Amino acid sequence: MKKPGCVVIGIVLLAIAGCGKTKPKDRKEVFPVHGSVWYEDKPAVGAEVTFHPVGEHPIKATCPYGAAGDDGRFALSTYGGGDGAPAGEYTVTIVWPGPPPENSPGDPPPDRLNGRYNNLSRAAWHISVKPQANDLDPFQLQ
């Protein structure tokens, strides 16, 4: 005879196993977006690229994000795992975190770019994500 607790656990596990198989109604279709980030002809390893949807309230917007790997390349993620971004118009910001401060270990690392590319009102890039695979031109930082 099964214990009641085992039955409850079994039901919960079955419910969890079913998660992720259906697309939640509030999720938009996404398309692959790949690019690279360079600084002085070298990959900007760890640079964080964020796509901000044009016309959406900044606090309510879902912003696709990617981080440059050792080769400078990134893949955007909206819902996870490099899934891509919804089709549309975006303003792009980039932050390149430096090493954490030695005397203030709890503080965030400084931006190696001193905020030059992290301001939506003076963003250097405006990108259109098409409903297809998107391979972007490299982002060249100065």
Assigned token pair, 48: 């964080």
Other beta carbons within 10 Å of 89: 13
Amino acid at 115: G
Between CA 76 and CA 84 the distance in angstroms is 5
Give the pLDDT confidence of 108-122 residue by residue, as tens digits: 899 999 999 999 989
Please report the domains of the chain, with CATH numbers, ordered by start residue.
Answer: 28-141 (2.60.40.10)
pLDDT tens readout for residues 34-91: 999 999 999 999 999 999 999 998 888 999 999 999 999 999 999 999 999 999 999 9
What's the pTM?
Answer: 0.80
Give dist(CA 100, CA 24) in Å, integer: 38
